């Protein structure tokens, strides 16, 4: 183990205020990413115009939030300006992007040590992390897309979402709906089968278990708390607080149209909370508006084509 300042040069960023900058479009030849303390969008909160006399921070460095969303750490693939309380880590040795991403992961795992009252300013450089030669081989061998591919869409065609033409659809006509099963913590060990629950985040995965899958791949799951819907690409098990939607024979749903559907179903979440949970019978009665074909059935082909045109769709494997 080594202190982070034995592996990186730790410096304070350029410390700019977004309200004093000019926001612009990415297509502007003088456009620069503005990285702040946010935990979203790789830390990029705006695109701004370059300021004469202030050089952007070089690409390939790691941004670390010293306050706000403290310890949020991102590898920046493009030159950028930074807001206040943001630190920049530059490798002291030659380092691959995968190795840098590993250190982002290590830094984020120190988040528990800080909060709004205790920022990572004086102690950031002293955080202990594994040395370069201690990075696990399975991480080095991970298949991570190049920056040239990240953010691209699969298709360059354009499709408009004209929701005025969408029609109300009864999901029960197109999906077999089933409740999950009750499991105690003693029913399984660690394994590779996802156990889906009403957990928010991580695609609903509560644990990876040694259970034999009960439900097939290419399904949707809806958690009873908050009506949180996810597309499940792999076979899985599900807990009793989850409703599973399996496409009926002839329903041509795939991961692209499934992701489209999950987004639309998640719009129903405003109707459900801890006091009003969505269960199997509620899912069976659910009606949502969708793009439809001439016969009024869901237009799964359009859903797939649309998802393939949006930014980052090339990252959907």
| Same-domain check for residues 117 and 173 | no
Position 150 in a domain? no
Note the pLDDT of residue 150.
Answer: 59
Position 151 in a domain? no
The 3 state secondary structure assigned to 30-43 is: CEEEEECCCCCHHH
Position 28 in a domain? yes
Number of H helices, E strands in the chain: 5, 18
Note the pLDDT of residue 312.
Answer: 79
pLDDT beneath 70: ranges in the chain: 116-117, 143-151
35 forms beta bridges with: 44, 82
Residue corresponding to tokens 């089933």: 178
Contacts of 281 (CB under 8 A, 6+ apart): none
Q: Are 213 and 250 in contact (CB under 8 A)?
A: no
Rounded Cα distance between 153 and 170, Å, is: 31
Position 210 in a domain? yes
Which CATH number goes with the domain that contains 42? 3.90.220.20
| Same-domain check for residues 132 and 225 | no
| Same-domain check for residues 88 and 185 | no
Rounded Cα distance between 77 and 74, Å, is: 9
Note the pLDDT of residue 85.
Answer: 92
Query: And the tokens for 87?
Result: 């630190």
Tens digit of pLDDT for each residue in 34-50?
Answer: 999 998 889 999 999 99
Q: Which domain holds residue 293?
A: 163-315
Note the pLDDT of residue 33.
Answer: 96
Tens digit of pLDDT for each residue in 138-159?
Answer: 787 776 655 555 567 888 888 8
Position 152 in a domain? no
Note the pLDDT of residue 240.
Answer: 96
Q: Are 65 and 43 in contact (CB under 8 A)?
A: yes
pTM over 0.75: no
Query: And the tokens for 201?
Result: 């985040």
Note the pLDDT of residue 200.
Answer: 87
Question: How many domains does the chain divide into?
Answer: 2
Rounded Cα distance between 39 and 72, Å, is: 6
Note the pLDDT of residue 121.
Answer: 83
Query: And the tokens for 298?
Result: 């869901």
């Amino acid at each position: 183990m080594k202190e982070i300042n034995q592996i990186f040069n730790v410096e304070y960023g350029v410390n700019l205020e977004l309200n004093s900058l000019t926001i612009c479009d990415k297509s502007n030849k003088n456009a620069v990413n503005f990285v702040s303390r946010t935990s979203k969008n790789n830390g990029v909160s705006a695109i701004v115009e370059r300021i004469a006399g202030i050089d952007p921070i070089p690409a390939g460095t790691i941004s670390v939030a010293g306050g706000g969303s403290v310890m949020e750490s991102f590898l920046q693939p493009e030159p950028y300006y930074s807001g206040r309380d943001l630190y920049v880590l530059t490798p002291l040795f030659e380092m691959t992007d995968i190795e840098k991403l590993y250190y982002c992961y290590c830094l984020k795992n120190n988040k528990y040590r800080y909060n709004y009252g205790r920022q990572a300013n004086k102690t950031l450089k002293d955080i202990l992390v594994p040395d370069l030669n201690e990075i696990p081989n399975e991480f080095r061998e991970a298949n991570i897309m190049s920056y040239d591919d990240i953010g691209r869409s699969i298709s360059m065609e354009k499709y408009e979402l004209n929701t005025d033409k969408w029609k109300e659809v009864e999901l029960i006509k197109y999906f077999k709906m089933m409740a999950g099963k009750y499991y105690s913590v003693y029913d399984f060990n660690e394994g590779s089968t996802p156990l889906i629950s009403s957990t928010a985040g991580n695609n609903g995965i509560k644990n990876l278990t040694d259970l034999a899958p009960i439900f097939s791949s290419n399904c949707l799951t809806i958690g009873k708390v908050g009506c949180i819907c996810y597309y499940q690409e792999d076979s899985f098990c599900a807990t009793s607080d989850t409703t599973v939607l399996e496409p009926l024979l002839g329903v041509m749903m795939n991961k692209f149209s499934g992701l489209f559907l999950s987004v639309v179903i998640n719009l129903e979440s405003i109707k459900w909370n801890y006091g009003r949970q969505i269960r199997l019978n509620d899912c069976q009665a659910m009606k949502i508006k969708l793009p439809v074909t001439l016969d009024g059935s869901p237009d799964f082909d359009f859903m797939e084509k649309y998802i393939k045109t949006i930014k980052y769709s090339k990252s959907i494997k």
